[in-house]
Amino acid sequence: MKNLLIAATALATLASAPAFAQTLANPAATAGPAQNGTVTYAGRVNAFCSAVTPTTALIQLGDLSNATGAFVPGAVNGAGGAYGATITCNGANTSLAMTANQITNPLVSLDANALAAGFTNTIDYTATLAKVGSTSYVQNPVSPTAILSDATGGSGASRVVGLVRSNISLTLSGAALASGNTLVAGNYSGTTTFTLTPGV
Amino acid sequence: MKSHLFFAATASALLISSAAFAQAPINMNGNISPNCTVLTLAPTSVDLGTISDPTAPGALDASKVNGATASVTPSITCNGGGTTLSIDADPLQGPTLPTNATGSGFSNLVNYTATINKVATGFVQNMPAGISNSTTAAGASSGTVGLIASTFSVNLSGAAAAGILIAGGYSGSVTITLTPG
């Protein structure tokens, strides 16, 4: 009977033991890495200039001589005018070229003797393109109003002006006879051309 | 006496067996981590070509930008109900502007809106419409989209120049991010 009691006690002890051994740790959840991708977009903006209008303009100089036949520089100097439309160029390498051509009387042909006697049919001058208005913008030059000048008799002038959003004026100055001291009578004409070439 | 002891031992063995099943359950705990498959965009670069209008200096031909498309493919799978999707668009930017050019109306920026949409046959738990981000926004646009089993498309729209565009090369980007959760 004593043995039976010992056996029962041992069994009771065994029966209560397994409750301590059955709990498993709960593993922590971790999020996976973020996934990302990038698309790049590329495009081009072409260099372009709006039209210069008018494409041709006539400046009347009037009488180039006084009552005694002497040349009057004031008839040429200061002549010019502004172009009505704003010119826009969006290229940082836009170039401006201009060529001032002498004012001449093409119908007169002077020989060496006439030239030696002081007659001429040619007038030199300087043409200048400039910004018009305080809000006009030309990238280069930044601060001067004048953009580019060309004196007749040369091969023309040019520069990179870059971005342009401006009205432009043309003004003549520095008029002088090419030689001699007396203009041959007749009709005189000259031209100044300028060209804007877009550049990136 | 022996028979009593045998009976007692047998009864106790039954008790032991009974107690072991009732008082020591094995708890099977575990977690499935939220994850997304690798995101791949195609193409990774898009050449929009000439984006300027040939009839006016620095004008944008918006049709060259609008409709540009890329795809997230192959299909993305995300198994987390808290998965977030974000899209961040940066404007097309051109050459550096010279001094004072901005005040005269020139610009080197093209803004647009980028939108990511799931394909019609795809499944996204919470994405009733596409998620859009404008390049004028301060940061990315995002939403909690949850479970995903879908491919996506990325489209550009609403392109607009911030002024007279200066000539040159322009580039921008759109970044898509999936964050498991």
Q: Do B65 and A28 touch (CB under 8 A)?
A: no
Shortest distance between the Cα of A185 and any Cα of chain B, in A, equals 47
Q: What proportion of chain B, given as a percentage, has pLDDT over 70?
A: 87
Cα separations in angstroms, B91 against A167, B11, B94, B112, B166 = 31, 83, 10, 7, 15
Find chain A residues with C-beta within 8 A of B181's C-beta: 31
Handedness of CA B10, B11, B16, B17 (dihedral sign): positive
Cβ–Cβ under 8 Å, residues A130 and A164: no
Instruction: Output the average pLDDT for chain B.
Output: 88
Tell me, what's the pLDDT at B12?
46
Whole-structure pTM value: 0.81
Q: At what angle do helices B2-23 and A2-16 cross, to 10 degrees?
A: 10
- Give the start-end residues of each E strand in B65-147: 69-78, 84-93, 106-107, 109-118, 123-124, 131-134, 141-144
Q: Which residues contact B22 (CB under 8 A, 6 or more apart)?
A: none
Looking at residue A8, what is its pLDDT? 43
For residue A72, the distance in angstroms to the closest alpha carbon of chain B comes to 41
Contacts B115 to A, Cβ<8 Å: none
| CB nearest to B33's CB, from A4, A29, A91 | A29
Contact A90 B165 (CB under 8 A): yes
Residue carrying structure tokens 């921008």: B172
CB contact under 8 A, B34 and A31: yes
Q: Are B156 and A41 in contact (CB < 8 Å)?
A: yes
- As a whole number of angstroms, the distance between CA B55 and CA B132 comes to 31
Mean pLDDT across the stretch B158-168? 97
A174 backbone φψ class: left, alpha, beta (φ>0; ψ -120 to 50): left
User: How high is the pLDDT of residue B104?
Assistant: 92
Q: Which residue has the tokens 């590329």?
A: A42
Q: Which residue has the tokens 């006539």?
A: A58
Instruction: Determine the distance in angstroms separating the CA of B139 from the nearest CA of chain A, rounded to an integer.
Output: 15
From CA A200, how far away is CA B165, in angstroms rounded?
12
- Measured CA to CA, the distance from residue A173 to residue A79 in angstroms comes to 8
Per-residue pLDDT of chain A (200 residues; tens, 9 = 90+): 444 444 444 444 444 444 455 556 666 778 999 999 999 999 999 999 998 888 888 999 999 999 888 999 999 999 998 877 899 999 999 999 999 999 999 888 899 999 999 999 999 999 999 999 888 899 999 888 899 999 999 999 999 999 999 999 999 999 999 999 999 999 999 999 999 999 99
State the DSSP code for B60.
Answer: B
B157 to chain A: which residues are within 8 Å by CB?
Answer: none
Phi, psi of A82 (to 5 degrees): -95, 145
Question: A16: closest CA among B63, B181, B105, B19?
Answer: B19
Residue among A123, A5, A74 nearest B12 (CA): A5
Indicate the DSSP class of residue B112.
Answer: E
CB pairs under 8 A between A and B: 217
Which of the two residues, B15 and A136, has the higher pLDDT score?
A: A136
| Token pair of B29 as six digits | 């705990």
Count of positions (residues) in chain B: 181
Q: Which residue has the higher pLDDT, B169 or B19?
A: B169
> Which residue from A minimizes the CA distance to B61?
A45
Q: Average pLDDT for residues B41-55, to the nearest whole number?
A: 95
Sequential DSSP letters for chain A: -HHHHHHHHHHHHHHHGGGGS-----PPP-PPPPEEEEEEEEEEE---BPPPSSS---------B-TTS-B-GGGTTT-EEE-SSPEEE--TT-EEEEEE--EE-TT----HHHHHTTEE-EEEEEEEEEEEEEEEEESSSSS-SEEEEEETTSS-EEEE--SEEEEEEEEEEEEEESSSSEEPSS--B--EEEEEE---
Interface of B with A in 78-97 (CB under 8 A): 80, 92, 94-95
